[in-house]
Each structure stands twice: as C-alpha cells, then as structure tokens.
Structure 1
C-alpha cells in the first residue's frame, strides 16, 4: 500500500460529494437528509458516510466496496481515488506481466527457433494432438499413455 499524499483525503471527499450530489443526494446541510438516505441505500453506516465526506482516512475495503457498488463505479477507481492504491498499482493488478502467458503454437515454434518446415509441421502437429488430448480429458492435464 502506498503512502497517502496530504491532499488525497480532501480530494476524495470532494469527488464523493460531487458523485452523490450528481445522483440527487442533498448534502447542503447536516439535516438535508442526503447523507442518511445514501447510508441507508448503500449499506454503509451513517458515521462512515460522514467520515468519507469529511475526508477522514477511511480505507476499509468493505466500506469502499459498498461505496463502489452504490455509485456504480469500479472498485479499482474508488481504491485509487481513496488513496489506497496508485493508478500504476491498479494497472499492474489488472494487467500482470508475470506468471504464465498464453502463446500460440506458431509463436512457440518461433521462440524455440524451429524454422525447418518439416520440423515446424511436426511440432505444430504434436502440439495440436496434446491440446486435443487435454480437452478430451477435461481435467486440464495432458493425457498419459
């Protein structure tokens, strides 16, 4: 988790205020009813809604998840706006660059340097046979002879 910048809570509070007023919640005063109405509809406690709108450091992911759902925005956007994660961290989670990657048999042959037409055809045929056996097994493992 990243360090919060001093202005992030205030920016998040302003963003949330704008989101709620755009959706018809009257936040003009403590007795206007908008906060209570949003709290009831979102499942977020009235005190948490107040803390969010004041810019207090609210990083409870359950609350932020309820907020995202109630606003109809992606949780990732709320987490970034709340300063829980950075936009770069969100991108890294959504588009990981590590772990297994999927390539075509043709790309695998290229990466392995298989250029001879006969060897390449044999490799592609073997790959297709193994993929077919895996699909037939239905368990995600290649068939064993």
Structure 2
C-alpha cells in the first residue's frame, strides 16, 4: 500500500494512520490547515462526525469497522486498504487472507474435521459423497491439470 512504512507483518500505528489520512484528504483537495475548513467539509461530505474525523487526524486510534467502512467509501478506496492503514490488519495478514495456503492436503477427512462433522455416520456420508463427486468430476474431465 502506498505511503505506508511498517514492515509487512507490523500493524500501522495511529500516528501513521493519521499521516496517511491527512495525505489522502489533501490529495482530494481538502484544506487541513487551521481555518482551512477541510476537516469540517470532509466530515460533512463523508457522513462521519466532526469529532471522529478530528480524532483520526490527531492520531487517536479508530478501529470501529463501521467508521472505517464509511471512511473507505468516502475516499473511494477498498475497505482492505483502509483496514491496513488503520492498523486493524497488517499487510501480511491481508495477503494471507487473500492468498490462503495449505501445508497439508485437503482430504475429505480433514474437510470433515474443519467443518466439525464428528458424528461417525455423518462423517461416512460426507466422505463417501465427497469421494463420489471427486470421481464424477474426474470422469467428466473437469478439473484436469496440465502435467509437466
């Protein structure tokens, strides 16, 4: 994300968020100098309270998701970018959510575990159905991969 300096796994500080927000607003033409009126104008334009905008610009932590969602909409930015800027998520956490990786193969049994299917009969039905669907898919040619 642009203009953010924390290491990939670090969360942004409230001060970093304030600096980021100040840049975002100034780039959009809001005059944030004393008596510039930009802070009040942005509060009115965004639907955020003036006190909330003031706290964010002073570097006081704001992690209320609804507030950050309203801010993202007002800035026309993805909510994920605002969550990282606000220190709710780190860039690494966002990457991991967007690009999940498994270290172990997902089998019908591990899927049943992750879904909390513990009843023996329900597990057998789930595993058998999954294996049947997998076989049908293989027979129809769906999901074929190119082998090197």
Q: TM range, normalised to the smaller chain?
A: 0.5 to 0.7
Report deviation, 1:32: 2.1
Mapped to 2, the partners of 1:28 and 1:126 lie a distance apart of 65
Q: Higher relative contact order by CA 8 Å / sep ≥ 6: 1 or 2?
A: 2
CA distances 1:85-107 after superposition (whole Å, capped 9, x unpaired): 1111111111222597xxxxxxx
1:44 aligns to what SS in structure 2?
coil
Mapped to 2, the partners of 1:48 and 1:125 lie a distance apart of 53
2:101 aligns to what SS in structure 1?
coil
1:57-68 residue pairs with structure 2 within 5 A?
57-68=61-72
Question: Which of residues 51, 54, 64 in structure 2 aligns to 1:50?
Answer: 54
Mapped to 2, the partners of 1:35 and 1:19 lie a distance apart of 12
Structure 2 counterpart of 1:92: 96
**Aligned-CA RMSD value:** 2.7
1:39 aligns to what SS in structure 2?
helix
Mapped to 2, the partners of 1:16 and 1:56 lie a distance apart of 12
1:108-123 residue pairs with structure 2 within 5 A?
none
Question: Which of residues 12, 23, 27 in structure 2 aligns to 1:22?
Answer: 27
How many aligned positions are there? 104
Unpaired runs of 5+ residues, structure 2, are: 1-8, 107-134, 143-148
Report deviation, 1:63: 0.7
Report deviation, 1:73: 1.3
Q: Output the TM-score relative to the length of structure 1.
A: 0.62
Q: Output the TM-score relative to the length of structure 2.
A: 0.61
Structure 1 counterpart of 2:109: none
